[in-house]
Structure 1
Amino acid sequence: MNNSANEPISEKLDLKTKIAYGAGDLGPAITANILIFYLSPFLTDVAGLNPGLAGQTQLVGKVWDAVNDPMVGVMSDKTRSRLGRRYPWILAGAIPFGFFFFLQWIVPKFSNNPDGQQWGLFWYYTFISIAFGWLYTVVNLPYTALTPEMTQDYDERTSLNSYRFAFSIGGSILSVVLVGIIGSMFPEVRQRYLVIGAVCAVLGSLPLFWCVWGTFDRMKAIGLQRPESEQPVSIPIAQQIKIALSNRPFLFVVGIYLCSWLSFQLTAAIIPYFVGSWMRLNSPWAVPSVVLAVQLTAMLVLPLWNAASQRIGKRGVYAAGMVLWIIAQGGLFFLQPGQLTLMYVLAVMSGFGVSVAYLIPWSMLPDVIELDELQTGQRREGIFYSFVTFLQKVSLGIAVAIVLQSLGWAGYVKPTEAVQLPVQPDEVLLAIRLSIGPVPTIALLIGMVLVYFYPITREVHAEIRLKLHERKHNPS
């Protein structure tokens, strides 16, 4: 790509650029999916933390992101380098990101005293959670902030995000397949998690370099054509936050995203316990097969939702996907042990909704950012994306803490070498079913209401783009 500042670049992206951009979410998706589905049972059943401490250690790491995410977002907005604003962060964080992911699957010995060992493990995993969360932000937030910079076309952004989430869901699927394969090869549970951690650490880091290599020419051309996209932000951080929170469409996107991902992550946190303790399945492929049904469906229907969004709009697509997801989520509460076929049917239905939750909120966010540019005169992708990634992490932390604390209060019985699938008290089973059924369903219903009132349609976005174009070419 040899564009000069005087040669207008197309808002349509070529296939190579879309694929390379999508690859940037492969590594974070692999690591995030493993953590969502397997870190909680690892901490409680392998490391031996009691459920309450296991939930708290993850929540502390996510709360730290309240400082971490906006800080990285603002700093990346202010970065000036020959590589632009975003790439230095991705390149610097890629390898440490993989290394700290691996450290989460080690079980260090701190004390022969059970109480001392509990607290030693708590502080170890809390530190690792904070460090990995920070590194996840360092690589993923600048990456996601590339979306509105790469194209200003309303539908092309949805298409670009469909590539991103094809890789994201593909990474989730790959991680689950790896867990099944490695679980079959390594029957000793602690060794199994170490191998999973090592393999996924490598796979988590490498695609980030592919993303930088494959999109750099596009971003360099944009820097020549639209130099304002690479200008560091001058607004003080406190004022930036205030302006972002006064952006009404942004608050709608935040609410929509939070409702859908709180539902997903709450379900993901409880799935291993639901499949084992309630459905009484104990093979290495039991949990991976359910996750695969959801994620494979989500990936396959992404192109359908992408095409549908161009015909009925983002709000219509979101509503259609949520209806299927709500039916499936509510149905899980009534599912009985032995109803395996119905379990997979509900998992497939959930995949339709999860696909929409990946695609639509993220394709709404660039439109909100351009409204902010119209109001402030500056491009501030970092601060907006930092709020969303912060909420993603905090919703996960809260979901996991709620799930594990409720299991601890209800009297969760840990597996042992002799009894790998103990019978749980009725109170534990009820807590599991409530966490996978009614609670996520309520959040999804709230999200549906928010989408109905979301104000930026295709027509409104076109008007925003027109005003930005007029201001650029006819400055007052």
Structure 2
Amino acid sequence: MAMEPVLQTTGYQQSTQKLSLKEKISYGYGDIASNFVWGMVNSYLLFFYTDVFGITAAAVGTLFLITRIFDALNDPIMGVLVDKTNSKHGKTRPYLLYVAIPFGILSVITFITPDFSDTGKLVYAYITYGILGIVYTAINIPYGALMPMMSRDSKEKGELNSYRAIGRSIGAILVASLTLPLVNYLGGGNQQLGFPIVMAIYSVIGVILFWLTFKYCKERVQPLKETKTDTNVKRSIGQMFKNKYWVLTSLNSFLWFVRLGIMNGVLIYYVNYVLEQPNMVPYYLTLLNVANLAGGFFALSILRKFSSRNSSMLFYAIAVVLLASLYFVDGQSVVLFSIIFFIANVLIGYGDPANLTMLGDTIDYQEYKFGERPEGLLVSSYSFSTKFGVALGSSLLAYALGWAGYNPAAITDQVKNMILLLMLGLPIIITILQVVVLFFYKLDNEHANIVNALKQK
């Protein structure tokens, strides 16, 4: 087999061969795999714990809060482990190979319902869900860190992240639409049997997809053999916070996921109590996921030609106008509301792969500025901001509903107004803040020169 040509930088080399379509699609397989398992957890675990396993909602709320904070704190630790990994498969790929099966097994165990006491059930849930979060971090952080190691080219990174966003949406749509019918069918009406069977099927598919990502995706940006790459963690963390573009990208992503946590949670309440169309809940949930999928396809073509930062600012601004217009069509026309809601979320969904592309560029900037590429640390710390954003968004939703006096048996005008604010008003404010944050991000204009400078060194 012929050796691929490489370019060299200060301590790093990169294959100059362009990424194939197969490799780009294979990278997207990783997020389909993640969402077959973690998407199942996010969508159905609350229902499973309260309605199938028999744990109280309040206890589950505390469980989620504690375990998700703990899970987020594990991200930087995992990032450091990735940066210190040196194997025949590279820094990130071995985790996709070896952690996939434990991840699948823990996923099934989490959805098993042993006949324990109430306390025993809660302890079982804490242990299984807590360990599942750790194992998920052990495979998802390396998966995210693989992207900037596949290419320096911003356009190629944009395509990789578009396929990743498409994969995530495909996984979310399949899980949302297939899970309950499969649970009832395969369990013969017994959900305690149906859930672990379905989770086993999803886990097998997820393991295969992670292995395909491992097989076809290569680490092309690598340290030279004679270069010492042992990461000084304290120094790298200090440099990370001096990387102004990484800080801005992480803040932008934090805001994106705060809005996601709010909108995904409040949509059911909005359709039920403001639109007063409870039978339309599945329709709007599917519409939201399909919009995110369309946003990934949209990004696939746009990011090849235009700046991630400038296009995001433009689309966020249009989304703000569209979200504001929903105030005026609220309850007037399902068709018009659906169209505007869909387009707004396509534009918002575009921002995720665009932001991940910017994250990849900030790693090049880190190397340019400080001579090191701690991909694992930078990606994991970014992941921390996204997980914290979802947790904060979900918490804000719960606290706001409680403050308004939410009672499903007696929905007041005050509660409806709060739901409307959470559904439209707060996302508008958050999206405007994202535009402000991106205004200070100037790396798009500098990145090509930075890559050329790294080549010359």
CA distance, structure 2, for counterparts of residue 247 and residue 308 of structure 1 = 26
What SS does structure 2 have at the residue aligned with 1:145?
helix
Q: 1:255 aligns with which of 251, 256, 271?
A: 251
1:329: Cα distance to partner?
4.4
Does residue 23 of structure 2 align to residue 10 of structure 1? no
Which whole-Å deviations, capped at 9, do the CAs of 1:163-207 have from their partners, x for residues lacking one? 222222222222222136437747666666555434333333321
Alignment match, 2:456: 470
Q: 1:445 aligns with which of 423, 432, 438?
A: 432
Alignment match, 1:78: 84
8 Å CA contact retained: 2:6, 2:16: no
CA distance, structure 1, for counterparts of residue 114 and residue 324 of structure 2 = 40
8 Å CA contact retained: 1:294, 1:351: yes
Alignment match, 1:31: 37
Alignment match, 1:149: 149
Does residue 436 of structure 2 align to residue 436 of structure 1? no
CA distance, structure 1, for counterparts of residue 332 and residue 50 of structure 2 = 26
CA distance, structure 1, for counterparts of residue 416 and residue 57 of structure 2 = 15
- Mapping of residues 397-436 of structure 1, within 5 Å: 397-407=391-401, 424=411, 429-436=416-423
Taking structure 2 as the reference length, the TM-score comes to: 0.86
What SS does structure 2 have at the residue aligned with 1:167?
helix
CA distance, structure 1, for counterparts of residue 190 and residue 271 of structure 2 = 20
8 Å CA contact retained: 1:76, 1:142: yes
In structure 2, the CA distance between the partners of 1:312 and 1:15, relative to structure 1 (3 Å rule), is: closer
Taking structure 1 as the reference length, the TM-score comes to: 0.83
8 Å CA contact retained: 1:99, 1:201: yes
8 Å CA contact retained: 1:78, 1:232: no
Which amino acid is the alignment partner of residue 212 of structure 1?
F
8 Å CA contact retained: 1:36, 1:268: no
What SS does structure 2 have at the residue aligned with 1:197?
helix
CA distance, structure 2, for counterparts of residue 338 and residue 199 of structure 1 = 42
CA distance, structure 2, for counterparts of residue 171 and residue 230 of structure 1 = 42
What SS does structure 2 have at the residue aligned with 1:16?
helix
Q: How many residues align?
A: 449
Does residue 442 of structure 2 align to residue 455 of structure 1? yes
1:464: Cα distance to partner?
0.8
CA distance, structure 2, for counterparts of residue 230 and residue 348 of structure 1 = 52
Which amino acid is the alignment partner of residue 369 of structure 1?
I
CA distance, structure 2, for counterparts of residue 110 and residue 433 of structure 1 = 41
8 Å CA contact retained: 2:183, 2:197: no
Which whole-Å deviations, capped at 9, do the CAs of 1:242-298 have from their partners, x for residues lacking one? 211111111110111111121112211233343445545555xx5443232222233
8 Å CA contact retained: 1:36, 1:265: no
1:300: Cα distance to partner?
3.0
Which amino acid is the alignment partner of residue 16 of structure 1?
K
1:351: Cα distance to partner?
2.9
Does residue 379 of structure 2 align to residue 385 of structure 1? yes
1:162: Cα distance to partner?
1.6
Alignment match, 2:11: none
Instruction: List runs of 5+ in structure 2 lacking aligned partners.
Output: 8-13
1:358: Cα distance to partner?
2.1
What SS does structure 1 have at the residue aligned with 2:16?
coil
Alignment match, 1:395: 389
Instruction: List runs of 5+ in structure 1 lacking aligned partners.
Output: 112-116, 415-421, 472-476
Which amino acid is the alignment partner of residue 136 of structure 1?
Y
CA distance, structure 2, for counterparts of residue 197 and residue 401 of structure 1 = 27
CA distance, structure 1, for counterparts of residue 121 and residue 321 of structure 2 = 40
Which amino acid is the alignment partner of residue 105 of structure 2?
F
CA distance, structure 2, for counterparts of residue 423 and residue 198 of structure 1 = 40
Which amino acid is the alignment partner of residue 69 of structure 1?
D
CA distance, structure 1, for counterparts of residue 15 and residue 39 of structure 2 = 36
In structure 2, the CA distance between the partners of 1:231 and 1:210, relative to structure 1 (3 Å rule), is: farther
CA distance, structure 2, for counterparts of residue 189 and residue 425 of structure 1 = 35
CA distance, structure 2, for counterparts of residue 281 and residue 340 of structure 1 = 10
* Greater CA drift, 162-171 or 137-146: 162-171
Which amino acid is the alignment partner of residue 206 of structure 2?
G
Which amino acid is the alignment partner of residue 208 of structure 2?
L
Alignment match, 1:352: 346
In structure 2, the CA distance between the partners of 1:278 and 1:15, relative to structure 1 (3 Å rule), is: same
8 Å CA contact retained: 2:294, 2:346: no
Alignment match, 1:114: none
Does residue 203 of structure 2 align to residue 201 of structure 1? yes
In structure 2, the CA distance between the partners of 1:395 and 1:289, relative to structure 1 (3 Å rule), is: same
8 Å CA contact retained: 1:50, 1:408: no
Alignment match, 1:239: 235
